[in-house]
Each structure stands twice: as structure tokens, then as C-alpha cells.
Structure 1
Amino acid sequence: MVVLTLSGCLAPGLVDTTRPSAAATVTTNKLAVPSPCTGQFTAHDLDHITTAPGEIVRLFDSNGTGLAVGDLDGDGDMDLVLADLAGPVAIFWNQGDLVFTKTSVDLVRRARAVNLADVDADTRLDIVLTTGRSAPIWLRNVDGANGIEFQFAPLPGVSAPAYAMNWADLNQDGRLDLVTGSYDAGMMVEMGSNSLFADNAGVYVYIRQPDRVAFEGHRLATKAQTLAVALEDLNQDRRPDISVGNDFDELDGYWLNAGPPSQPDWQAAMPFDTISHSTMSFDWGDVDNSGHLALFTTDMKPVSQDIDTLAQWLPMIQESYTERPPLDPQRMENTLQVPGAGGKFQNLAYKRGMDATGWSWSGKLGDLDQDGFLDIYVVNGMIAADLLHYLPTHELVEANQVLHNDGTGHFVPAPAWGLGSTRSGRGMSMADLDGDGDLDIVVNNLTSPAQLFENQLCGGESLLVDLRQPGTGNPFAMGTVAILHTSMGDLRRDVRVASGYLSGDAPRLHFGFPQGTTLDRLEILWPDGTVSEIGDLSAHTLLTATRSDD
């Protein structure tokens, strides 16, 4: 282990060099020796099955549930939290070497989204859940008589029903704020149109109060069919904007973070010429290492156009078809919104080879083969007795899709990687779960055991990065941008709470690169706009940078 303290000196790069510097203490630890490579992922079943409350799966239980990844007990290993429609939330405590101990949290059942966020800023990741029928539920991470316990607690001021959510410091005050969206169609089925919660549906921004764990809410939309919320910077002004992905005919919602930093003025916008029709998932990243973020959304479009595939899809499409209004921007396919000249976005999903990945749910970006470029993994499939009544077992069986980035931001299928599970995945996240430096994958399937995919691809190296801000309202530095300058180019990663579909991300950043790549320096743009620079980097290392400002 190596510890050193560096001041935030700056060098030319993607970060604004006029910003003030920040001191950081750096600790490094070597990663575990990887197991022998096989050229593919190895699947492991987890002792968890998400099931529907009834005997058969109907809309909207067919939407399944999410999961999250993060270090809940502070031992350095990534733990797993999986939701269930019929049972309690399950925690898989990572003991190392892909050995997990399962416990259940009986305080909440029928959870949907799972986020891990340090709500009370005590340097412990808490669990926050949605049910779709009520306001988000906070399970506070505290010391108990027999170790860690999770205490049920309200989020004061957060009252609207939520299906999807995300967290970020929206007003640059150093505290995490919350954005939620309701799923009105599902709520009407479960609770009826006369429900008191239905009157409070829609999209909300909740700003954390400065002196206590309490929030002040602002309603952005009175109705929603929200499946995903992204808090990424759409207009490159280094402030998080709001993207809300809606199901059905409800247009996705986009709001730009305008006004003074301390008092955002949320301006509705439509930055894209075309959008997905039923946006299931958001992720964002620099897919061509140009320094610009692209926004990836998933939708429903068959991978193949052969007769057998179309025979399974067409009855459902015909039953749900509605006439589209003129100039409708919605398309039933994935999108990849890539910024071009003047900041105008272009949907390049079709040109880049990733417009169709089946009935897609969680789709995420990650450098799976550690060649320095972000790949894509999408889980898919559908089970619904009322919608797919014409299919055996009422299930559209599809193989999950993994797409390899060819180094230009274009994508090609990589079936040899062994990620083509047909278990009807819903929530999904990527993280290094065995400490060897590469990205593993965990999937919460519907009516089948959850799966962990161990990465045993060959080639490449990595640098893992943890960022910490002790003594602040955002100890895990959510919203930080880190840029690794290398001999192959600049690699950008963002710390965020959630992405994909109902799924929480680990705050640990993964940089992959080819063997022999020279690592020049790591630039860190903290959420408050200050910058740290770290040199003397080594591959196959976990680097922890902790703010140490006086």
C-alpha cells in the first residue's frame, strides 16, 4: 500500500485549467491476481428469484425489479442488493473470491428501483428503494447489536409516488438531491384512479436542505410513465440536467439546469430530433474517447427480422398499435445521442450498430474487454400473460445482447463472450466483484435465478478509482468526473448513483486499457468545480483519492 498527498496542480486536458485546485491524499493497493482467462464470461447463479405476487405474471409485474452494487460494510468488496416483487429485499455480502453471504431485509417488499446513496452523509452507503405506489423508502445503514443494521426511515419532504429515481448534487451546495418519476399506468392498475397518491404523480425534484436530512420538492411534470432517470450534463456546462425516460406514448422529459448554480431554474427542452418510444433505460459515456458524452437509451426492437422472430412480435405490435401524430419524434428502437457541431445531437444508433437489442431493459456501458473503449450490454425478454397470451408460457424468450466497441464508437455483436442468457433480465449493473480489476456483471432476472457473470476475457489491464470527500454532504463524491490521460488517449468516467433500468451503480470507477499503455496522469474534477491531478500511476491498482483540503 502506498500513501501520498498531492496538491491539485493542473495540466492541459479536458478539464478547465482555470478552475481552482484541490489537495488530495492518495492510497494505492494492488488488485488480486486474475484467474486464468477463458475468453468469455462464466455464469454463476445467485440464490435469489424475483417472482410475481400472483400465480402468473401480468402487466405491470412483467417489468420486474432492479438491483444495486456497492460496498455496504466498508470492507472494500462490492456487495449486492436485489429487489423482489413478491418477497423481501436480498443483500449479498461479498466475502471475496465471489463468495457471498445472503441476508434479507424484511422491512420492504415489492420493491422496484434500488439505489445506494449516502443520504445522511455519514460515510456509509444507505439503501433507497421505490415501490411505484409510495414515496421512496430510506433504509439507513447503522451499527446494530450484531453488526450492520438497516433502519426504516422516512425521507422528510419526499411524498410523491416514485417508480424510478436518481441522485446528484443539482444546486452545487455539496449535498445530494433527488429526482423521482412515477409510473402512472402501473399505479392505476395496482391502486385505482381514486388513489390519493395518483393526484401527486409525475416528476419531482427534491432539493436537500442545508441543516438536516429533509427535502424541498418541486413538481416538473404532473404525469409520467417513468422507467429511468438520468442526471447527466446535456449541454456541457458542467451542471447535471434531468432526463426522464417514459414508457408508452408519453414523451421523454428533459430539463436543463439553468439559473444561478445555487438556485436551478429547470427549463423544459427537447434536445433530440428522435427519441425512443418506450425508453426503458439510460446510460451515458464517451463511446469514442472524443471527450464528449453520448446518451444511450433502450427500447423494444427485435434483433433479427427472420420469420420466426417476427411471428412472435407482430401480434403484440398489432394489438398495441396507435396512429402516430405528424412529426412524432418517437421511434421504437434504441438511440445513441451523440453531440456534434454546435452541441447539436444526432441519433447514430442505427449507423453505429446498436439500434436493436430485443425487448430491452437495463442497458449499460462498460469496457468489458479492457481495450480502452466502452462496450454495451443489454438484458432483455418479456413475460406477460395478458400481453403475450399467444406465446407458449406467455414468454418472449430472447438472448441478452453484448456489443463490442470496435475502437471507433461503432458496435458489433460479441456472442463468443458468453453473455447470451435467455432468463428474461431486468435490472443489471457492472462492477469488479472479485477484486481482479475487470468488470463483472450481475443481473436480476424475472422468474429465474439472478446471475453473476464472472469476467474471464483475455487481455487488457485496468485502474480502479475510489473518490472520497469526508466531512461533506457528499462523501462518495457523486457527480465527479475523472479523466485518465494515457498513451492511447484520454478516458473519461463519471461517478453516479444509478443508470440503466432501476439499477444502482458502484461509486468505484473502472478504466480499462491495452497492456503496455502508459498512464500519464489522472485529472479529477470534483463536484464543486475544483480539480486535483494525480501522477505516478500503475496498472492493476485500486487508487483511492481523498479530498484533504484545509
Structure 2
Amino acid sequence: MTRYTSPIILNQGNVKVHALAQAPRNKHVGKPFTQRLGPQLGITYSNSLTPEIFLDPLFFGRGIASGDFNLDGWTDIAVATNNGFELYQNMNGTHFKKIISGIESLNGKQAINIALVDLNNDGWLDIFLTTFNEGNFVVLNPLPDEGRVRILPVPNEGALLTSASAFADLNQDGFPDIVNGNYYLGVFTRTPVKQAANQWVLNRNLDFELRNLEGIPGQTHSVLFSDINADGHADLMVGNDYRVADTYYFGSAGEGFKKIIHQDKVIPITTQNTMSIDTGDFNNDLIPDIYLANIGMSRGLDVVSNIFGSTMKNAGLDFCDSGKTLLSRATCHRFNQLTTLLNPEKQDITEHCTRLNNPQWIKECMVTRMILVASSRKSPNLCDKILPPFNLNRTYCKKFFQAEHVEISRENEIPMQTQFNLLLSGQKDHTFTDLSRQTDISTAEWSWNARFADLDNDEWQDLYVVNGVPITQEYASNNFFHNQNGKSFTPAQKEFGLDDLDHSSSYTYIDIDRDGDLDIIANTLYGPFKVYTNNNTKGNSVSVQLVDEKGNRFCLGCTVIIRYGKDGERHQMREIKTGGGFHSYDAPVAHFGLGQFETIQQMEVTWSTGETSILKHSFSVNREYIIHRQALEGNQ
């Protein structure tokens, strides 16, 4: 189970409940969150956004995942890099220590997405890694055994990039299966291309079988397994960019999915440029809700199309001069020059790469501009003029001309909307209603990762949305939507210390110091990671980790319901998921904020195999609980 032992407080049949007190809360005075740069806590990797990779999707940043990979009780992190991945061990909540930085067989690979998931069901988290044009991999038990690390390829049928991945045990054999959300060249190809078709991978103890997934081959940014109709089977959501409708599927008892069409009247509307999908229960009615992050610019999409206008140039200049970025003033201005020199939407032909005043950057800029010229002029012969060492750019250029565009029918697709994010509220009949405007969450700029979590332990799940993109000089703060008792949300990023103008695309919620409140570790698109330490001293909480010997060990697809208050009239629900968001994965642990309530009367666990355990006990708050189901009834 884990290397550390916590006392057993309840033994019910083949289910045991362990409990451990949380660490004391921070005694910080000031705003709820304090921001620090990753290197201050030992997270040394920095996204290096150079002209060579100023290309869609390489300039969207790299992924991050959290999970306890060495089973010492402290949640660790893994990050995708331009050289494979790096693994950081949590050192008793004080800092992180890099323990793996590059593996020989992954050296030089542009890794984009990373997840911590136990694919061989041995009780240890593995690393699932996707790369640009070099396939997907699983790194088994990343802590090396006698210096050896076992790496296996995971099929994606030669897709250029699996940008999004999600995991669930679809056939209930104990081994999490995989959905590949594939991506091609984004803004360069736009319309559906055959090479972006999604797949799912049946996992029979690392014997992988690739299967096609019905639906329009969109540019997929987010995929998520979540049981949205409460039938015990993992349903699937696929979020697409570039005006291709998101696709929803009902799971089944077998090995397959049923596509939900508009005429089913389950999902009323979706977003046109979906970056992130998450499910949560924002109003605590025990019915899952859906949040979709889109390009929701408060000043309209003109800020994208008019990047060369004086308004946008002045916005970029003001940002660089403001002192509100981790970049130096000179570096910041240089990045803004890249925005106009290498913008895939259109380039400022009056500017030249020589303005960058950096010999290497000038060379890389000219190579990337060659791709832009080749694609705009439809001149494949220009790709051959891109010579070593710029092999990645040469491949990118050739891939543009290899795109197989497909004709599609949109007759049965779910309608899309532009410019706004969506909150779809789940109903008792398992349909959804759009409450975006009523709940005040519709605008969050160029959104990326967005997930539910109770960040102030007041019983209600909030939403944190990071934003920013290199192809516009628009710099807007990330958004923290504070849940107002399940009725609406209030923008509160400034009050909570979560306002940040630097571009960011991915983050993970993580209780670094095990004090019962969630911290945040986020990437930046052009520099180091940032750590937002939660200083909240109000509100009780519990965390619940599930260990299952009958199904998949980390209980992906399991649901936890807690009941508390007078006669157990208050309740909350969490689902254990590894998927959704944008290039981001949280540890498989359920976090519940409880406000001033001091006990929980009942916990209900619905296991991924369909059974339910009802645990009645006076559960104290401010505890870490581990609920462990053994394989055999009464097995001690």
C-alpha cells in the first residue's frame, strides 16, 4: 500500500480505513496564496521558448503531473521536457529534489504531455509520456531498479502528437486503459485531418491493442473519463480546438462507447476552441457538472486578429515595463518581437529576424520563417532548404504538406459557441443545462487548464483558470473563480494572491506540505515553474486516498461521497480521475473542504468494479484517510 504506516481506525469486512493527522497549517499573515518561483523550491526545469520551437503546438508549454511515486506519503511531481522528463521528489514538504533528469533512450525527444498512472497495476505509479513525432511511452516504476529503467512504447498509430490522454479501467480487468487525444499542426492545418483521428488503447497488463474512436478528427486538447450518467461506466469527453465540435460518449459494460449526438439532448452546447474539460460538483447536489475552457477574451477576439495594431503593441510594451513578469525587460521585449515575426496567423513583413540581436535566435527565426513561407505559398520544395541541425523544423514543414484533409458532416454534432467558457450543470435526468452566464464564469481570456477544487476549504469547489498564448501581446491575469455556496462564482484572483500576468498553460493541485489545503504548481510558457503556497488557516478538511486490490490499485473511476452536518444532511462528492484539463494531472486523491464542521458521519465508496462500501463512523476532520479494499472478504 505505502511505505509509511498509519493507524487503522475502522475494519469492515474486506475494507480497512487508515487515518493520519494533517500537518499544522501555515501561520502566514496576508493573502491566502504566496507565489514563489520553482527554483526556490528545487524545481529547476524551465520552459525555453526559442524561435526554433515557436510553432503550434510546441509553444504551448509542457505538462506536469503529481503523485506519490515512491510511496512515502509525500506527493511528488513529474514534468515533461524537451529532453524527455524530469522527476522531482517531495522532501517532507520543504522542497523538491530532482532525482531523474533525462533517460538515454528519451534524450532529444520533445515530450509534451506527462501523466503518473499505474498501467501494470502493481501499486506503483508509472510515467506515461507523449512526444512530438516520436510516439508515446510508458516508463515503468520510474525509480530505477539496480540502475535499470524499463521503457515500453504505447501505440498511437504514428500520430504526430498525442496532446491529451485519459485513463480508466474500461473492461474492469485491473489495468487502466488509455484514450489518445491526437493533434496535428493546429493553426497550420485547422480543418479536420485524417492524422488527428483519436484512438483508445486496450491495456491487458502492458499488452496494448489500439482501437479507433468514432468522431470527427479534430485537434484535441483535452480528454476525460467521468461517469456523467451515474451508470457505473466511464463516459468519455473529447475537447477539440479550431471549430470542430467536442465529442461525448457514453461508456458501456463492454469494451466500447456510444457517441452522444445533438438529437439526444444530453449536452446542449459546447465550446468552439476547447482547451480543457473537467467535471466536478459545484453545487454539492451529488450530480457531476462540466466546465469547458475556451478562448474567452473579455475584449473580444480582435485582440488576436489585430496583433500588429498600436493597441496591442502598446499592451506588450506596457507589460514588459510593468515589472509584473518573471522575464527581464529585454527578454520580454524580445518575446514580443517573436509574436510579430513568427506569428502563424500572419507575419509583419516589415520586420526582420536580424532585429533579435542574437546570432542563434536570428538563425532559428529564419528557419521557422521558412516554414511559414512554405505553408503560405504552398511550396513544399522550401522544406528541403531547411538543413541540419534543424531536423525538427524540416519534419514540421514536411508534415504540413502530408496532411490529409477530410470532408465531414456536422449534422449530428453538438452546437458550438465562440468566445465564452461554459459551465454545464448536471440534472437528475442526466442531461445538462448551461449556467455559464448565471454563474459568472464565462470569461477567462485565452484559457488553458481549468479544474475544480476547494481552495479555501469552505465546502464548495472553486475554479482556477490559467491563460495566455504567445501569438498575442495580450497579458491578462489568471482567473480564480471563488464559489459562492454553489449558486455563482466571484472573480477573486487578486484577493487570494492568485493574480498573475505571465502566460501559463498547465498546473497541478497538490498538498505539498500535507497541511490539508491545496497548493498549486504551474508552468510558464517561457520560463520556470511557479509555486503558489496555500496559507489558508480557516476551514477544516480531509483527504481520501483509495487503494483497491480487486480493481485497479489507485481506484481510477471510483467515487467518494461524504455525509456530515446535522443528521448527515450535508454531502459532497469526488471522482478519482486521471485525465481532463490541459497537459495536467493531479494525484489520485480526493480533497474535501469542510468549513467549520468537525466530523463526518459517513463515507460511501463506489468502486470501479461497481460495488459500494458504506462506512459509518465518526470520522474526525483534518485527517488523511486511506480506504483499503482487500481482494478477499475477511482477508486480514
Q: Name the TM-score class by shorter chain.
A: 0.7 to 0.9
Residue 480 (structure 1) aligns with = 558
Which range is displaced more, 134-143 or 157-166?
157-166
Query: What does 1:433-444 correspond to in 2, within 5 Å?
Result: 433-444=512-523
The CA distance in 2 between the partners of 1:188 and 1:298, in whole Å, is 22
Offset, 1:232: 1.2
CA deviation vs aligned residue, 1:202-252 (integer Å, no higher than 9, x gap): 11122223x653334233246220000011123232211111100111111
Determine if the alignment matches structure 1 residue 266 to structure 2 residue 271. no
1:461 aligned onto 2:540: yes
Gaps of 5+ in 1: 9-22, 389-394
Distance 1:336 1:59, change over 3 A: same
Indicate the structure (1 or 2) with the bigger Cα radius of gyration. 2
Q: Is the 8 A contact 2:245 2:415 kept in 1?
A: no
Question: Are the structure 2 counterparts of residues 132 and 156 from structure 1 closer, same or farther at C-alpha, using a change threshold of 3 Å?
Answer: closer
Q: Cα RMSD between the aligned structures?
A: 2.8
Identity %: 27
Q: 1:342 aligns with which of 421, 429, 432?
A: 429
Q: Which residue of 1 aligns with 2:465?
A: 378
Q: What amino acid is the match of 1:520?
A: Q
Per-residue Cα deviation, 1:127-161 (whole angstroms, up to 9, x for no partner): 101124343211111553567x6432123687645
Q: Paired residue for 2:573?
A: 492
Query: Secondary structure of 1:350's partner?
Result: helix
Q: Which residue number corresponds to residue 220 of structure 1?
A: 214
Q: Does 1:300 align with 2:382?
A: no
The Cα of 1:320 is off from its aligned counterpart by 7.0
Partner in structure 2 of residue 98 of structure 1: 94
Distance 1:157 1:164 in 2: 12
Q: Is the 8 A contact 2:184 2:195 kept in 1?
A: no
| C-alpha distance in 2 between matches for 1:56 and 1:201 | 20
Kindly indicate whether the alpha-carbon contact (under 8 Å) linking 2:194 and 2:217 is maintained by their aligned counterparts in 1.
Answer: no
Unpaired runs of at least 5, structure 2:
1-5, 39-43, 310-343, 347-409
Relative to structure 1, the CA distance from residue 293 to residue 274 in structure 2 (aligned partners, 3 Å threshold; closer, same or farther) is same
Matched, 1:181 2:172: no
Distance 1:87 1:328, change over 3 A: same
Within 5 Å, give how 1:361-510 maps onto structure 2.
361-384=448-471, 388=472, 395-414=473-492, 415-470=494-549, 472=550, 474-487=552-565, 489-510=570-591
Q: Which amino acid aligns with 1:529?
A: G
1:88–1:134 Cα change, 3 Å: closer
Structure 2 vs 1, CA of residues 328 and 145 (structure 1 numbering), >3 Å: closer, same or farther? closer
Give the letter for the 2:416 counterpart: P
Q: Which residue of 2 aligns with 1:153?
A: 152
Cα distance between partner residues in 1 of 2:36 and 2:590: 24
**Which residue identity lines up with residue 140 of structure 1 in the other structure?**
L
State whether residues 7 and 532 of structure 1, in contact with CA within 8 Å, keep that contact through their aligned partners in structure 2: no
Alignment of 1:186-205 (within 5 A): 186=186, 200-205=195-200
Distance in 1, matches of 2:166 and 2:186, equals 20
Structure 1's consecutive aligned runs of 4 or more residues displaced over 4 angstroms after TM superposition are: 156-161, 186-189, 316-321, 325-328
**1:457 Cα offset (Å):** 2.1
SS at match of 1:113: strand
Contact 2:439 2:487 in 1 (8 A): yes
Distance 1:376 1:150 in 2: 37
The structure where helix makes up a greater share of residues is 2
Higher strand share: 1
Which of 311, 317, 329 does residue 416 from structure 2 map onto?
Answer: 329
Q: State the match for 2:595 in structure 1.
A: 514
Distance 1:311 1:335, change over 3 A: closer
Partner SS for 2:120: coil
For 1:516 and 1:130, locate their aligned partners in 2 and report how far apart those are by CA, in whole Å.
Answer: 43
After the TM superposition, which residues 11-26 of structure 1 pair with which residues of structure 2 at under 5 Å, given as runs? 23-26=14-17
Normalising by structure 1, we get a TM-score of 0.86
SS at match of 2:609: coil
Q: 1:57 to 1:90 in 2, by over 3 A?
A: same
Structure-2 separation of matches of 1:422 and 1:157? 36
Query: Aligned residue pairs: how many?
Result: 508
